Structure 1
Amino acid sequence: MTIIQFPKKENSCKCGCESPQTILTLPVAPRPFSRIRFDPIDSQARAVPPGGALSWLEENLKQGAEIRAVDIDGPGDPLCEIDSTLETLRLIRQKYPDINFSITTLGLHAEKYAKSLVKAGVTSVTLLVDAVDQKVADKLYAWIRPCRKTIPLAEATPILMNEQQLAVEVFKKMGCKVTIRSTVYSGFNEDNIEEISRVMAASGADGMKLVPCKADAKGENPLLSPPGKEAMLRLQKRASKHLATALNPGKENCIGVDCPSLHGSCKSIAKLHPKPTKAKPNVAVVSSNGMEIDIHLGQAYQVLIYGPREDGLPCLLGTRSLPEPGSGSSRWEELAESLDDCFAILTASAGESPRRILGNHGIAILITENEIEGTVDVLFGGGKKGKKCGR
């Protein structure tokens, strides 16, 4: 992976890190809990698999970056697909035991996973809190998905707000530092910022960061514009009554295609994903409808096989049946044998056992809920413009 060199004093990480020279943000979480109304729907951000995250860290270290901490942040939520998060922490801690870990999360399911995260080495948590009032939250969120299915906002926002307060309490009890990060959306949540600070302080948070929302480059939200410097300073003063509050110069999620290399910007995270080889030229895809990657590997009865045709363009080559469920680890051994020409499996979710067994056979499991064609195209390096696959 090529990393563009910048001077040591250059603040090339725009993700709000306290020390851009020592903290590396790794986007390994494939699935989000929610979407803010003003966020782009067709984001190209894709999660890096745990092995790719380790490679990312190693590349920075090889080029002289003095990385003392890793933050698991984006493009989804680290607690939504906990297996990917814990596997990333395990791989890095196994090779670099002195590196500190932090996560950036919405906070849902914190009570369930906090103990495992702390045991894996997490010592610091950034909690994303943009509202503590249901009316405000209803204006900000397009949807919230506490579990697998989206539920009405009237039901989801109270769950989110309650669990965020609980997340502060749980992580503090485990000995973690908890920082609140709130994005200021002009005309929507400015009047709720001080209350966020008060409520989170009462729950035990250590501090707060305020970031302005990003300008809408496409003009799809004419009512939304980033707050000015004076407005941010006023909000900082109000929030500081309850929590020590800092201002970030801007909100730049260090995720997806604009990856947070400490020495520059990696414009394509496809370089971190497994690649086709002569022995394993194909990829298997788990789908219920042939268009989206949308079901758990353990629930699948067949996979779609994509690979290069004679002109090199990746296309659907056919389908293969999966071994019947219920046979334990032998099912995954059998699957590995039947997919010995595949370098990866794309699925919405998978357990630890298939990850480990298939990985031992050189088949990476990549977790995503994107549409098939675009995701396969990325894995094969972008395809060829002007051509389409026949089915």
Structure 2
Amino acid sequence: MGCQGGSCDSKKNQSLENHPCFSPQGHGKTGRIHLPVAPGCNISCGYCVRKFDCANESRPGVTSRVINPEQALWRVEKALSGPLGDALAVVGIAGPGEPLANPHTYETLRLVKEKYPHMMLCVSSNGLLLSEKVEELKEIGISHITVTLNSLRAETGEQIYPYVFWQGKKLTGQEGAGLLIEKQLQGIEEASKLGLLVKVNTVVIPGINDGQIEEIALKVKSLGAAVLNLMPLINQGIFADLEPPSVLEMTKHRHKVSAILPQIAHCRQCRADAIGLI
């Protein structure tokens, strides 16, 4: 049944405001927990270095340990009974690998939704499998999805992604990057059409994709994305010697595209096992 009297927009705005990673209104008020149940990945990002026993770094791709779905549910239970308590409203899976490529992601989300139906569920993805998994995510009860998309151009993508695993094959160069971009855009559009709130993360890589931010914003907005989160490069991996964008440069990028899509300036580029208020 369709919405009447702007009720769809009202519900969408409320969902955005209540999620701390989708809106400044949730910043410092709404708690979230990331469950590190997804170790495997199906692409290689040049800026990503995954670690499964890391306690001293705060960035995506790291966790103190990988856990199974039952342990993940226990973590949610402990968090609700701890200091965070009722402020915990969001359960997410953000790695340390690609959530949609790991069966434990779906099992974990089903367990959480069954026991805590009031919780908002979200997933962060590279988007390669999103179009084929989005119906299942919707059925489980996922309300928010984040897709990291760093370029619309295959010639740029091949500089960012050394390889992509697709249907048992390792694709490199523009072939791999082009396929990834195609799947990312398709997934964003299909998720939006199904009513999921879509946030696009873009890692700003100086000299690589920093001149393409506006075209990314315009494209993903046309596909239904609700938010764009620009994140500064963490210089590691193949970009270890590249200087990250400065705070001033990031501010300029966000200001330039803020008229196209809302921006998230408070993102802390969290760990795969993060918990608490942002």
Letter in 2 for 1:227: P
Judging by fraction of residues, say which structure has more helix: 2
The sequence identity of aligned pairs, in percent, is 24
Matches within 5 A, 1:114-133: 114-133=134-153
Pick aligned residue for 2:99 from 69, 78, 81: 78
Matched, 1:62 2:64: no
Alignment match, 2:250: 232
Q: How far did residue 126 of structure 1 move? A: 0.7
Letter of the 2:100 counterpart? L
1:22 aligns with 2:31: yes
SS of the equivalent of 1:190 reads coil
1:235: Cα distance to partner? Answer: 0.9
Give the distance between the partners of 1:187 and 1:144, measured in 2 at CA: 22
Q: CA deviation at 1:33?
A: 2.2
Name the CA distance, whole Å, in 2 between partners of 1:249 and 1:154: 30
Aligned ranges 1:1-391 → 2 under 5 Å: 18-19=26-27, 21-40=30-49, 44=53, 45=62, 47-65=66-84, 66-81=87-102, 83-216=103-236, 221-222=240-241, 224-248=242-266, 250-252=268-270, 254-255=271-272, 259-262=273-276
Q: State the distance in 2 between where 1:263 and 1:250 align.
A: 11
Which structure has more relative contact order (CA 8 Å, sep 6+)? It is 2
Please tell me whether the aligned partners of residues 206 and 243 of structure 2 are also in contact (alpha carbons under 8 angstroms).
yes
Which has more radius of gyration? 1
- Name the CA distance, whole Å, in 2 between partners of 1:127 and 1:107: 6
Quote the Cα distance in structure 2 between the aligned partners of 1:150 and 1:42. 22
**Aligned residues of 1:232 and 1:247 also touching (Cα < 8 A):** no
Instruction: Give the residue type in structure 1 aligned to 2:68.
Output: P
Unaligned runs of 5+ in 2: 1-19, 54-61
Cα displacement string for residues 242-274 of structure 1 (whole angstroms, at most 9, x for unaligned residues): 22222245434x12xxx313289xxxxxxxxxx
CA distance in structure 1 between the aligned counterparts of 2:52 and 2:151, rounded to whole angstroms: 23
Residue equivalent to 2:14: none
Question: Do the aligned partners of 1:144 and 1:153 also contact (CA within 8 Å) in 2?
Answer: no
Q: Per-residue deviation at 1:240?
A: 2.2
User: Contact 1:16 / 1:248 at 8 angstroms: preserved in 2?
Assistant: no
Q: Quick one: which amino acid aligns to residue 207 of structure 1?
A: V
**SS of 1:164 mapped into structure 2:** helix
For the residues of structure 2 that align with 1:207 and 1:185, how far apart are their CA atoms?
19
Q: 2:99 is paired with a residue of what secondary structure?
A: coil
**Structure 1 runs not aligned, ≥5 long:** 1-13, 265-391
Cα offsets for 1:129-163 (capped at 9, x unmatched): 11111121111112222334321222111111111
Instruction: Give the TM-score taking structure 1 as reference length.
Output: 0.58
SS class of match (1:150): strand
Q: How far is the alpha carbon of 1:50 from its aligned partner? A: 0.8
Root-mean-square deviation (CA), in Å? 2.6
2-structure distance, mates of 1:263, 1:238: 28
Shift of the 226–220 alpha-carbon distance from structure 1 to 2, 3 Å rule, reads closer
Whether contact under 8 Å (2:68, 2:104) holds in the other structure is yes
Question: Contact between 2:32 and 2:275, CA under 8 Å: does it hold in 1?
Answer: no
The answer as to whether partners of 2:131 and 2:187 remain within 8 angstroms in 1 is yes
Distance 1:145 1:239, change over 3 A: farther
Distance of 2:255 and 2:207 partners within structure 1 = 19
- Give TM-score scaled by structure 2 length: 0.79
Q: What is the deviation of 1:40?
A: 2.9
8 Å Cα contact 2:164/2:171 also seen in 1: yes
Q: Distance in 2 between matches of 1:192 and 1:94?
A: 42
Question: Following the alignment from structure 1 to structure 2, what is the Cα–Cα distance between the partners of residues 33 and 69?
Answer: 26
SS of residue in 2 equivalent to 1:145: strand
**Aligned equivalents of 1:104 and 1:94: distance in 2?**
21
